[in-house]
Amino acid sequence: MDTLALFAAAIARHAPVDGIHDTLLPGVRLIRSSSPTMPMPVLYERTLCLVAQGRKRAVLGTTAFVYDPAYYLVASVELPVTGAVIEASPERPYLCLSLDLDMVVLGDLALRHPPADEDGGEDMGMALNRTTPELLDAALRLTRLLDTPADIDALAPLVTREILYRLLTGAGNRIVRRMARGDSRQNQIARAIVWLRAHYARDCRIDEMADVARMSRSTFHAHFKAVTAMSPLEFRTQLRMQEARRLMVAEGMDAASAGYRVGYESPSQFSRDYARLFGVPPGRDAGRLREAAGVAH
- Banded model confidence at residue 246, pLDDT cuts 50, 70, 90: confident
pLDDT of residue 72: 96
pLDDT for residue 123 is more than 90: no
pLDDT of residue 295: 38
pLDDT for residue 44 is more than 50: yes
Alpha helices in the chain (DSSP H): 3-14, 103-112, 133-144, 152-169, 174-180, 185-199, 206-213, 217-228, 232-250, 255-261, 267-278, 282-293
Contacts of 248-254 with CB under 8 Å at 24 or more apart are 248/282, 248/283, 248/285, 248/286, 249/286, 249/289, 249/290, 249/293, 249/295, 250/295, 252/297, 254/283
- Banded model confidence at residue 296, pLDDT cuts 50, 70, 90: very low
Mean pLDDT, range 1-8, rounded to an integer? 93
Percent with pLDDT over 90 in the chain: 52
Mean pLDDT, range 32-40, rounded to an integer? 91
pLDDT for residue 38 is more than 90: no
Which of 152-166, 250-264, 277-291 is predicted with the least confidence, judged by mean pLDDT? 277-291
Average pLDDT of the chain is 89
pLDDT for residue 36 is more than 90: yes
pLDDT of residue 297: 33
pLDDT of residue 23: 97
Which of 25-39, 160-174, 258-272, 277-291 is predicted with the least confidence, judged by mean pLDDT? 277-291
Residue type, 223: H
pLDDT for residue 117 is more than 70: no
Mean pLDDT, range 192-201, rounded to an integer? 89
pLDDT for residue 128 is more than 50: yes
Q: What is the per-residue DSSP string for 60-87?
A: ETTEEEEEBTTEEEEESS-EEEEEEEEE
Residue range 73-82, pLDDT digits in tens: 999 888 888 8
pLDDT of residue 162: 97
pLDDT of residue 115: 73
Which has the closest alpha carbon to 44: 71, 20, 25? 20
- Banded model confidence at residue 121, pLDDT cuts 50, 70, 90: low
CATH class as words, domain 234-293? mainly alpha
What pTM did the predictor assign?
0.83
**For 3-180, CATH number?**
2.60.120
Residue range 214-240, pLDDT digits in tens: 899 988 988 898 888 889 989 899 899
